[in-house]
Amino acid sequence: MRWLSYFTSMLIAIAYSLTAQAQAPTKPMRIIVPFAVGGASDTYTRLVAQKITEQTGKTVIVENKTGAGGRIAFDFVAHAAPDGLTVGLIDATYAMLPGLFPVLPWDINQDLIPVVMVAQTPFVLVVGAEAQFSTYQQLASAAAAQPGKLNYGSAGVGSVNHIVTERFRSNAKIDITHIPYKGMSEASVALLSGNVDLIVAASPTAIGQIKSGKVRPLLVTTAKRSPVLPDVPAVTEVGLAEFVVTNWFGFAVPKGTPKEMMETLHKDVMRAVAAPDVKEKLLLQGAEASTFSMQEFSDFVKTETALWTKVTKDNHIKIEP
């Protein structure tokens, strides 16, 4: 019966090994955010990461790699190992880079694969609380009467709100002057002090000032009114249907990441943003949780990249080296 004892011992050893492997902690997933702590990209990423951990038990670490307008982080993720453990946050900034920089250290069409959108937020056209304009029509009429007199502030040449506002200017067929600042905080101060006439800001940036009465919203850049700003007209209501535009946030992985890992990431994020508490927190900032499939998100990023590349070229927007 020695062989039976040996066989039994082998089965016990195999079972113990499999149990140990099943119980062994998996490596954490890192989500690389290209921007500083506290911004919308960082806030949404941490919200989703925490919910994924709550729902699945997986360890998700959020790491901020700032600099070069996001290019440092995008390049890092594009060249990371395709093992499903390194994920990058991409947003509207990502789709604008090819129009601003003809040469990038990674191939935007191949090296980073869009997997899942987290949310979209509208931009809001705002003026100072004491401004003479109560409606978009009043602002447009004033701009038409005195071309170039009205001005707008931005976070700098090539910033998201600079490029978005140039698209607005083109679609609205109005002549307004660009005044770049070193960031949105400076541009907001300039608006509040009356040094600029308007700003097109992302809703997470604008909502607090709108609620406090410091600025007056004239438009949201979505096809329908925002639930968090129900009294503010959508662009489609004032004849600017071509100016439907959002800031968006999603996750991408390095080329070569196995399909099953991408599918798992998509499933985990979709489950996280569908949670009632996450949806409510997003909505408070004017953000709408995404329902895009992987293919829909991939197609969306390609469309956005083509659109913003055209806008930057048509409006001669360049970042000087």
Tens-place pLDDT, residues 281-314: 999 989 999 999 999 999 999 999 999 999 999 9
Closest Cα partner for 63 from 79, 93, 87, 83?
A: 87
Reduced to 3 states, what is the DSSP secondary structure of residue 275?
coil
For residue 14, being part of any structural domain is answered with no
For residue 63, being part of any structural domain is answered with yes
For residue 203, being part of any structural domain is answered with yes
| Kind plus residue range of the DSSP H or E element containing 188 | helix 184-192
Query: Residue 26: pLDDT band by 50, 70, 90 thresholds?
Result: confident
Reduced to 3 states, what is the DSSP secondary structure of residue 245?
coil
For residue 150, being part of any structural domain is answered with yes
- Based on the number of CB atoms within 10 Å of its own CB, is 59 exposed (0-12), middle (13-18) or buried (19 or more)? middle
The per-residue pLDDT for 109 is: 87
CA of 234: how far to CAs of 123, 159, 204, 218, 219, in Å? 10, 23, 17, 9, 6
Q: What is the pTM of this model?
A: 0.88
Do 142 and 188 belong to one domain? yes
Do 168 and 185 belong to one domain? yes
Do 227 and 252 belong to one domain? no
Do 157 and 239 belong to one domain? yes
For residue 200, being part of any structural domain is answered with yes
The per-residue pLDDT for 21 is: 38
Do 89 and 177 belong to one domain? no
**In this prediction, what percent of the chain has a pLDDT beyond 90?**
87
Closest Cα partner for 270 from 302, 247, 293, 295?
A: 293
Query: Residue 206: pLDDT band by 50, 70, 90 thresholds?
Result: very high
Closest Cα partner for 119 from 19, 183, 202?
A: 202
Closest Cα partner for 28 from 107, 66, 85?
A: 85
Range of 112's domain? 28-121+247-314
Q: Are 271 and 118 in contact (CB under 8 A)?
A: no
Q: Are 154 and 178 in contact (CB under 8 A)?
A: yes
Q: Decide if pLDDT at 83 tops 60.
A: yes
- Pick the last residue of a domain from 225, 243, 261: 243
**In this prediction, what percent of the chain has a pLDDT beyond 70?**
92
Start-to-end Cα distance in the chain: 81
Do 144 and 98 belong to one domain? no
Do 117 and 251 belong to one domain? yes
Half-sphere exposure of 47 (CA within 13 A, CB side): 28
Q: Residue 139 maps to which CATH number?
A: 3.40.190.10
Do 201 and 271 belong to one domain? no
- Pick the last residue of a domain from 186, 220, 243: 243
Tens-place pLDDT, residues 218-277: 999 999 999 999 999 999 999 999 999 999 999 999 999 999 999 999 999 999 999 999
Q: Residue 70 maps to which CATH number?
A: 3.40.190.150
Do 157 and 229 belong to one domain? yes
